[in-house]
């Protein structure tokens, strides 16, 4: 129990904090809206132009007194117009070091072969760790990685005056599926409406529209299609909603949710490998027994933490791969949800698997067309139409390699040494 001195110290600290807050709140109440001089305003430019870049460069150098030579003077490859649709108020390129691992052998339904996988990161030891995991998979004959399901959702919400009106709306809506599919087909060449689900909460109705989006990640595609669907619904429904929003924050877009393991968002991939005792010893420098025991202990720990899913570090590899290949990096928030499993089989070998239900990835659209991002996709044979499932299966193999390596390091007590060796700057 805390001593009386400790309690008094805590109380005094709390009083000081409250007094400081009161002072800050008083300043906020007295604050007036600033009057910006025209020279201080950053002009908004939705499209990229050389003139706009120079204007922003001059303003930033004047206001920050920094020349920013690497950021602003770094010239992108190709035409500036190629950046339109990817960025606004463009000033330059942020250069992230990119490493490569491999070969990572994948035995999948769409990805079959040996792949060299680019990873853009500033975290020392990350590439080395994934490279070690890839080597272990290679020596075992390759990781099996299968894309099981596909689907991207948008979940508009409709508010009614009462549940009775909501019920009449639902009774009209559900038989409209074929008409809504036709609207989607007219709106997009690639999107297909696959399913409609409803969730009722009082006088609020969430309608989840699930789409296939071809080889695109699809968030913009499903938003545009859902807008067209909702406009039709509101124009023709027998009971009008009091209001509606294009997204009711139910679809799981860019966040980890409890729905992750009962549905699919993007692509659901599972990957597995069996590593002999010899491979675990020689490549991962530990034993199957220790790795299985570490998995059990760490899974109990993650359950206690309340995390959604149970794994080591999916976000590490996915963020680095997303950066390198032009994916929407914010989708790591949902893509890094999953389950890792490790156990010994009857022969004393290590069985390991990963399951990722929320892989939002694409090989067309978004940032995939940008020069270095396209090159990284082409390195894996994944650029363009017909390659999204293949890319998703490579993601599964990459994540599996990373889980093997980090679990090995932690189980053998090598984790700290690895980061001291690879992750610290040498003066």
Mean pLDDT of 228-250: 97
The DSSP code sequence of 211-233 is EE-TTB--HHHHHHHHHHHHHHH
Cβ proximity of 338 and 399 under 8 Å: yes
Would the pTM of this model clear 0.85, i.e. be above it?
A: yes
For 328-352, what is each residue's pLDDT tens digit? Answer: 999 999 999 999 999 999 999 999 9
CATH of domain 156-245: 3.30.70.420
**Could you give the CA distance from residue 370 to residue 83 in angstroms, rounded to a whole number?**
7
Confidence (pLDDT) at 55: 87
pLDDT: is 97 or 72 the higher one?
97
Mean pLDDT of 159-178: 97
E-strand stretches of 121-264: 143-154, 157-159, 192-201, 204-212, 243-245
Kindly tell me if the per-residue pLDDT of 312 is higher than 90. yes
Q: In which band, very low, low, confident or very high, does the pLDDT at 2 lie, cut at 50, 70 and 90? A: low
Confidence (pLDDT) at 32: 67
Confidence (pLDDT) at 423: 58
> Given the structure tokens 């929320």, which residue do they identify?
358
Cβ proximity of 292 and 275 under 8 Å: no
DSSP β-ladder status, 339-344 and 350-359? antiparallel
CATH of domain 98-148+268-422: 3.90.770.10
**Could you give the CA distance from residue 252 to residue 268 in angstroms, rounded to a whole number?**
14
Kindly tell me if the per-residue pLDDT of 94 is higher than 60. yes
**Could you give the CA distance from residue 236 to residue 146 in angstroms, rounded to a whole number?**
42
- Give the number of other Cβ atoms within 10 Å of residue 405's Cβ: 28
Q: Which range, of 250-259, 271-280, 394-403, averages the lowest pLDDT? A: 250-259
Percent of the chain with pLDDT over 70: 90
Alpha carbon separation from 238 to 99, 173, 177, 196, 206 (Å, rounded) = 58, 10, 16, 19, 18
For 178-229, what is each residue's pLDDT tens digit? Answer: 999 999 999 999 999 999 999 999 999 999 999 999 999 999 999 999 999 9
Q: Which residues are catalytic?
A: 123, 328, 419
* Longest Cα–Cα distance in the chain: 75
Which DSSP category does 83 fall into?
Answer: G
pLDDT: is 56 or 159 the higher one?
159
Mean pLDDT of 169-175: 97
Tokens matching residue 172: 């009209």
Mean pLDDT of 239-252: 96
Tokens matching residue 49: 């132009």
Q: How far is CA 298 from the centre of its chain?
A: 23
For 129-149, what is each residue's pLDDT tens digit? Answer: 999 999 999 999 999 999 999
At a CB cut-off of 8 Å and minimum separation 6, what does 405 contact?
Answer: 129, 130, 132, 133, 136, 284
Q: In which band, very low, low, confident or very high, does the pLDDT at 413 lie, cut at 50, 70 and 90? A: confident
Confidence (pLDDT) at 310: 96
Confidence (pLDDT) at 181: 98
Kindly tell me if the per-residue pLDDT of 77 is higher than 60. no
For 4-47, what is each residue's pLDDT tens digit? Answer: 777 777 777 777 777 676 666 666 666 666 666 666 778 788 89
Tokens matching residue 425: 């700057």
Domain boundaries, the chain: 50-95, 98-148+268-422, 156-245
- Considering the chain, what is the average pLDDT of its residues? 91
**Could you give the CA distance from residue 412 to residue 353 in angstroms, rounded to a whole number?**
20
């Amino acid at each position: 129990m805390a001593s009386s001195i400790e309690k008094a110290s805590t109380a005094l600290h709390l009083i000081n904090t409250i007094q400081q807050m009161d002072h800050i709140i008083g300043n906020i109440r007295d604050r007036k809206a600033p009057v910006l001089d025209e020279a201080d305003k950053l002009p908004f430019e939705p499209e990229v132009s050389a003139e706009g870049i120079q204007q922003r460069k001059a303003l930033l150098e004047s206001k920050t007194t920094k020349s920013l030579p690497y950021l602003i003077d770094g010239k992108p490859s190709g035409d500036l117009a190629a950046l339109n649709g990817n960025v606004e108020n463009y000033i330059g390129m942020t250069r992230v070091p990119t490493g490569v691992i491999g070969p990572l052998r994948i035995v999948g339904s769409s990805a079959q072969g040996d792949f060299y996988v680019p990873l853009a990161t500033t975290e020392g030891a990350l590439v080395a760790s994934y490279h070690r995991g890839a080597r272990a998979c290679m020596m075992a004959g390759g990781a099996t990685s299968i894309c099981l399901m596909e689907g991207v959702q948008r979940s508009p919400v409709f508010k009614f005056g009462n549940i009775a009106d909501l019920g009449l709306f639902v009774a009209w809506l559900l038989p409209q599926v074929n008409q809504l599919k036709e609207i989607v087909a007219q709106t997009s060449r690639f999107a297909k409406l696959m399913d409609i689900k409803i969730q009722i909460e009082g006088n609020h109705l969430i309608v989840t529209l699930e789409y296939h989006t071809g080889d695109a990640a699809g968030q913009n595609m499903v938003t545009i299609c859902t807008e067209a669907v909702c406009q039709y619904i509101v124009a023709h429904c027998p009971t009008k909603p009091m209001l509606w929003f294009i997204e009711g924050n139910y679809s799981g877009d860019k966040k980890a949710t409890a729905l992750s393991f009962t549905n699919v968002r993007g692509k659901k991939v599972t990957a597995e490998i069996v590593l002999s005792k010899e491979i675990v010893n020689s490549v991962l420098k530990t034993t199957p027994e220790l790795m299985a025991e570490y998995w059990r202990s760490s899974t109990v720990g993650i359950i206690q933490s309340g995390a959604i899913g149970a794994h080591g570090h999916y976000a590490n590899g996915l963020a680095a791969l997303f950066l390198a290949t032009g994916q929407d990096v914010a989708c790591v928030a949902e893509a890094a949800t999953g389950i890792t499993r490790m156990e010994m089989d009857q022969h004393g070998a290590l069985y390991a698997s990963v399951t990722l239900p929320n892989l939002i990835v694409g090989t067309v659209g978004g940032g995939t067309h940008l020069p270095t991002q396209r090159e990284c996709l082409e390195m894996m044979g994944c650029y363009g139409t017909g390659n999204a499932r293949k890319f998703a299966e490579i993601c599964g193999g990459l994540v599996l390699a990373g889980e093997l390596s980090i679990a090995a390091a932690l189980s053998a007590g090598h984790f700290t040494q690895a980061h001291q060796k690879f992750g610290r700057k040498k003066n």
